[in-house]
Amino acid sequence: MKYLLLPVVVLLAGCQSLSQSDGNAITDNSDSQVETAHPVEINQALLADESIDVIHPVADVDFSLNNTLKDQKAIDENNIWPRIRSQLTFDIPNQKRLVSQRNWYVKHPSYLKRVAKRAEPFLYYIVQELEKNDMPIELAFLPIVESAFDPFAYSHGRASGMWQFVPGTGERFGMKQNWWYDGRRDVVASTEGAIQYLKYLHKFFDGDWMLALAAYNSGEGRVRKAVRKNKRLGKPTDFWSLDLPKETRAYVPKLLALADIVKRPEDFNLSLYSIDNKSVLSQVDIKSQLDLAKAATLAGLSLAELQRLNPGFNRWATDPDGPHRLLLPSHSVAKFELGLNKLSKKDRLAWQRYKIKSGDNLGLIANKFNTRVDLIQQVNNIKGNQIRAGKHLLIPVAAKSLDSYVFSQEQRIAKKQNRPQKGRKLVHTVKSGDNLWDIGRKYKVNSKSIAKWNGFAPRDTLKLGQKLVIWQKSNTKSNKSNYANSKTGNRVENAIMRNITYKVLRGDSFARIADKFNVRISDIERWNNLDRKKYLQPGQRLKLSVDVTNNI
């Protein structure tokens, strides 16, 4: 058993991950909206300016991380903030962007408190890991800026976890991602990966932490390009002088604003929420695959509590190929290990004996029991995909009903899809050849909205048989007809057409460009003598004919 030294943290009196504006307080954020699991706490000011469009698909969970009672004086004398404060080293310049971010945090102490509570199980561990790697302690605030310390946060740019890694960067820095498990959400794996990535960026920018942080947000290539541009023009190349995207211009000031508040909270009439400066979580080696419901029972936790502490697991059980570890409140470890040692290997999962029917195949059976083909093959010693009707298979199944695993991938998506929206609710089942663009055109809705309603990113791959929730507005007949005309090539009377040349960006696809300019994929193919089956290349130029009145 390895001890992680995680405390009970609750940040100052209030913070959140996606910076939000209040009036004119924040001037450098984009106007995208954030969806959160806390609708009671949201007002128009909070929705006005979010710098990162992040989805919070599930509600928070309160933990019992310490089974001992202490008086308030003892808590105040032994909290984590003096430890952090003593190591703060970043300069806090008198910059307008920084001041506006700080003003917003100061005006919203409830936000700071909410994020601090969410950080409670994890902040001490992060502080410890930063110290171990000789990294600036200010980086402990980065998950606030990135995700509001929500390990289940997911952005429409496909970034996931409290450190918000996209799939490629996550894989690059050691985060395993498969059907069972996503290391980008795993607290241990993602923290280790974030530290390695930040070390790389720090070295890449010759020891400049402000540039490294900017690159963490928008990529090293973009920041390097801005630096080189300023060099050519004879301008300063520090972060504050660079021409960077709006979101990145606000990103570094948010982190510095939080550091300044932690450094001198009394100057802003704020009190920091006291957090124990000691370990409250432990990492336990479970040796092999284990049903999460059984693990929760052994630890004396609710299933939701266990999943909140171990957000990397997508399904009802841990990954059969590892990692074979769980984070548990330290006071529950002895009880958990005692119970685990009494479990036989077959008792770690629930099992069902299944008689193969005519027409069955391993894929259908795996879908039926919410498991994987390779696991069925392994358990039943099957080589290849041949099975015979009348024979029996031993299938590992969830110990409880699937809706009990509230933070599994399926339940998080279901919660998202069941959230009421305006209009009429429809359900579309993905068929062979479907793409988000064509589905949007069929139902006369924006493809990005479909992604938002169903809790995934517009560039995520659709799966055959996947159920998509569609919300159609019933009172926008004229708008629908104009939208349909633009998609089908029928020009409305007041259309103003222009021929343009579009330079393909990294990550662009036929569907994404078609959606951006309200044209059809087939038209893009025809205008440029291209085939949609072939990949577009960054820098490639496309000829487009667009209605400028429909592309505002």
Q: Which residues are designated catalytic?
A: 146
Structure tokens at 165: 């890694």
| Distances in whole angstroms, Cα of residue 318 to Cα of each of 74, 130, 311, 345 | 38, 28, 11, 14
Pick from 468, 381, 362, 395: which is nearest to 425 by CA? 468
Structure tokens at 372: 């994987």
Distance between start and end Cα atoms, the chain: 58
Q: Where are the beta strands (DSSP E) in 51-114?
A: 54-55
Residue 509 DSSP SS3: coil
DSSP string, 155-224: ETTS-BTTTTB-HHHHHHTT--BSSSBBTTT-HHHHHHHHHHHHHHHHHHTTT-HHHHHHHHHH-HHHHH
Determine the Cα–Cα distance for residues 93 and 252; give it in Å rounded to an integer: 12
Determine the Cα–Cα distance for residues 409 and 313; give it in Å rounded to an integer: 8
Structure tokens at 35: 């969806």
Residue labelled with tokens 């307008």? 96
Determine the Cα–Cα distance for residues 283 and 1; give it in Å rounded to an integer: 6
Burial class (CB in 10 A: 0-12, 13-18, 19+), 533: exposed
Determine the Cα–Cα distance for residues 146 and 164; give it in Å rounded to an integer: 6
Determine the Cα–Cα distance for residues 332 and 338; give it in Å rounded to an integer: 10
Burial class (CB in 10 A: 0-12, 13-18, 19+), 552: exposed
DSSP string, 330-364: GGGHHHHHHHHHH--GGGGSEEEEEEPPTT--HHH
Amino acid found at 334 = A
Angle at 290 between CA 289 and CA 296, to 5 degrees: 155
Structure tokens at 474: 């019933």
Rg (CA), the chain: 25
